[in-house]
Structure 1
Amino acid sequence: MRKALQRLGVDEAIFDDVVCFETMNPRLFIGEDEPEPASASGDRPRPAVILKPSVDAIVAALRVAGTNPHRTLFLDDSERNIAAGKALGLRTAPWWGKKVRSKEADYALESIGSLRRTIPGDLGRRPPAATAAAANSSTTSRE
């Protein structure tokens, strides 16, 4: 993740935490020296995969990150995922490589590198449309 952020010109210090597919689905990445437990029939169980735009996936990511959802900025390159984050009351910013505003987005980023310039340091304030689901969970940004 660090290398990807460096290539994008983003200082990783602006994030409290980054939650990604591997973070959300660690059982899919068990090393060869850590065998998965076999079921009673001897077959290996298939772990459930958690994916966006499922609200459950976003709530789980908030829980994994362990941060205040009211100080969370949900970044994604999918309008469906942005809408799911917004439905939970998160601040949202799509990054599609061009400055395009979405009805579900709080901010429009020209590039991921413009994050610091675009997002004001107000993520500590409660978003206007925060929902109970977001208030009971938690994720990410230091600005």
Structure 2
Amino acid sequence: MEAVGSSSGAKYECLLFDMDDTLYPLSSGLNLACRKNIEGFMLQHLNIEESEVPRMCLELYREYGTTMAGLKALGYEFDNDEFHAYVHGKLPYEVLKPDPVLRSLLLSMPQRKIIFTNADKEHAAQVLKRLALEDCFEGVICFETLNPPHQLLPYMDELDGHSPVLPEREGEPETQCFSINSQILCKPSVEAIQAAIRIANVDPNKTIFFDDSPRNIASGKAAGLHTVIIGSSTLVPGADHALSSIHNIKEAMPEIWEGEEGGQVEQVIQSTAVETVVLA
């Protein structure tokens, strides 16, 4: 994909955004509800001892990036779609409300904007719809993008009945991380972030990565990205900026808007921010 609305001389050409607890605050309670559902899945579908579930859930998350990845690494067998349907299917999405302030900020940014989440595409679609941000991003790199059910081949698919799934960068050789037999690929592994960089076809030196996880930020920096920790007023290892809220981005990082003429930027935004597609 060719970058839209930016030239090779621009300081930043792409913005990679984590979604959960980044585009909306941790205080929404969605994170806690998700954890409870994961524990319920472990208890009911994997027959793990009830007294072990909470500790095991947290330890696997810390060691493997997601509890799901940890369960797979330990040898537990379950269907990925069933797991996501159980964990996200009962979430109280109604706690998320449209965010016109963030929407305005995103649409004013001249760079390409892409979601990069460990979650599945259905959850990403639900969250972006509730926040009224679904047309603010060029695409979504999600669980299915990095963990396809078959060897990654150029193909087309549908998201919410209308958005096509775009093939991986044309001419990019397949790598071991996309193998059917590989373990789940997800943040905070540097390999996952490198895969996202390759799929999005971005220059890491001209890309800013926004995430609420210090581990993800450290890996993003190791992959060559400019990094911004969200939800923290102090820098963490690997972070170039720290924002207590995503809403503070214009005050903290005016360079995102530097050198752009408002009319020209608006024209580009209006012509490209039509729908959010899943990148695969």
Runs of 5+ in structure 2 lacking a partner? 1-18, 25-97, 121-140, 150-156, 159-179, 259-280
Q: How does 1:1-143 map to 2 (within 5 A)?
A: 6-7=98-99, 9-11=101-103, 12-13=106-107, 14=109, 16=112, 17-21=114-118, 22=120, 23-26=141-144, 27=148, 48-96=183-231, 98-121=232-255
Q: Which has the larger radius of gyration?
A: 2
Structure 1's 47 and 67: CA in aligned 2 closer, same or farther, altered over 3 A? same
Q: TM-score, structure 1 length as denominator?
A: 0.59
What is the RMSD of the two structures over their aligned residues, measured on CA atoms? 3.2
Distance 1:122 1:112 in 2: 14
Q: Is the 8 A contact 2:208 2:225 kept in 1?
A: yes
**Number of equivalences:** 107
Asked if the contact 1:8/1:113 (under 8 Å) is kept, the reply is no
Residue 100 (structure 1) shift: 1.8
Once residues 198 and 185 of structure 2 are traced to their aligned partners in structure 1, the CA distance between those partners, rounded to angstroms, is: 13
Shift of 1:122: 6.2
SS at match of 1:74: strand
Q: Which AA in structure 2 matches 1:84?
A: S
- Structure number with the bigger relative contact order (C-alpha 8 A, sep ≥ 6) is 1
TM-superposed deviation, 1:107: 0.7
Q: Distance in 2 between matches of 1:8 and 1:60?
A: 31
Q: Which residue identity is paired with 1:9? A: V
Could you list the runs of 5+ residues in structure 1 that have no partner in the other structure? 32-44, 125-143
**SS in structure 2 of the partner of residue 18 of structure 1:** strand
TM-score (norm 2): 0.33
Rounded Cα–Cα distance in structure 2 between residues aligned with 1:75 and 1:8: 19
CA contact (8 A) 1:74 1:91 kept: yes
The aligned amino acid for 1:52 is K
What is the alpha-carbon distance in structure 2 between the residues aligned to residue 107 and residue 18 of structure 1?
19
Q: Distance in 2 between matches of 1:9 and 1:52?
A: 28
- SS of equivalent residue, structure 1 residue 80: helix
Kindly state the Cα deviation for residue 115 of structure 1 after the two structures are TM-superposed.
1.3
Give the Cα separation in 2 of the matches to 1:109 and 1:48: 33
How far is the alpha carbon of 1:9 from its aligned partner? 3.3
1:78 alignment partner AA: S
Could you tell me how far apart the structure 1 residues matched to 2:202 and 2:238 are?
Answer: 22
How far apart are 1:7 and its partner, in Å?
A: 2.8
